[in-house]
Structure 1
Amino acid sequence: MTLWHNPRCSTSRRAVELLQAAGAEIQIRLYLQDPPSRAELTALGLPAAQLLRRKDAPEAADYSAAQIFDLLAAEPRLIERPILLSPRSAAIGRPPEALLKLLEKPL
């Protein structure tokens, strides 16, 4: 699994701690240094509106999904964080505990 992480974000740091405490093997991707492409963003399977840090881009409230994906690809600092990618899905760590559902075994 890969965690899109911003070490300056307390929520993102807490997510790393929770995942490590749960025994998860994660790779860290510093997405501000290694920004995801638009294709990677859409491949997450998450709604564009959920991926946008609205408090940092209030003008984007009325943007279409396509416009949001374009914005996030151009300005990765606007991506909501952290995001955990597993082989079967992705989740946003707001709150960080939301990421733990990806550690559950499929039925």
Structure 2
Amino acid sequence: MNVIMFHNPRCSKSRETLALLNDRGAQVEIVEYLNTPPDTNTLRALVDKLGVTARDIVRTGESAYRELGLADPGISDDAVLEAIASHPILLQRPIVVRDGKAALGRPPENVLALLD
């Protein structure tokens, strides 16, 4: 089975998710999103596949979150996605995509539903 994983090798949850996928025999296409940031269209597609809002894929603990004023509830989803595209450190990780569906690997076991 082929999956795409938005991965940060410095993140323990991301590494755990990758190991879990490898243990299950998945063929993983890794996107190191800090080196190759997804554009807003890709981010919008991820939000749709996850079935969440743009705010649900933002790392609120990052300094860029505060600096960009993303806590303001009046900011549109489009503006949030543009901020993530410009500051990829804001992207929650890991995100795994398979066959038009996606899962956030927090905890890593969340991605197992994609493998069934």
Instruction: Judge same fold: TM > 0.5, yes or no.
Output: yes
Which digits, 9 at most, give the CA deviation of each residue in 1:44-85, with x for residues without a partner? 114211110011124412232112111111111100000101
Give 2:92's aligned amino acid: E
State the 1:88 CA deviation: 1.9
With the length of structure 2 as denominator, give the TM-score of the two structures.
Answer: 0.84
> What is the distance in 1 between the residues matched to 2:37 and 2:82?
13
State the 1:94 CA deviation: 0.9
Percent identity reads: 39
Corresponding pairs, count: 104
Which digits, 9 at most, give the CA deviation of each residue in 1:10-51, with x for residues without a partner? 110000011111111111111111110100000111421111
Are residue 70 (structure 1) and residue 75 (structure 2) matched?
Answer: no
Give 1:9's aligned amino acid: C
Are residue 54 (structure 1) and residue 64 (structure 2) matched?
Answer: no
CA RMSD of aligned residues (A): 1.2
> What is the distance in 1 between the residues matched to 2:15 and 2:43?
21
Residue 5 of structure 2 aligns to a residue whose secondary structure is strand
Which residue number in structure 1 is paired with residue 104 of structure 2?
92
Give 1:50's aligned amino acid: D
| Structure 1 unaligned blocks of 5 or more | none
| Structure 2 unaligned blocks of 5 or more | none
Q: Runs (4+) of structure 1 moved beyond 4 Å? A: none
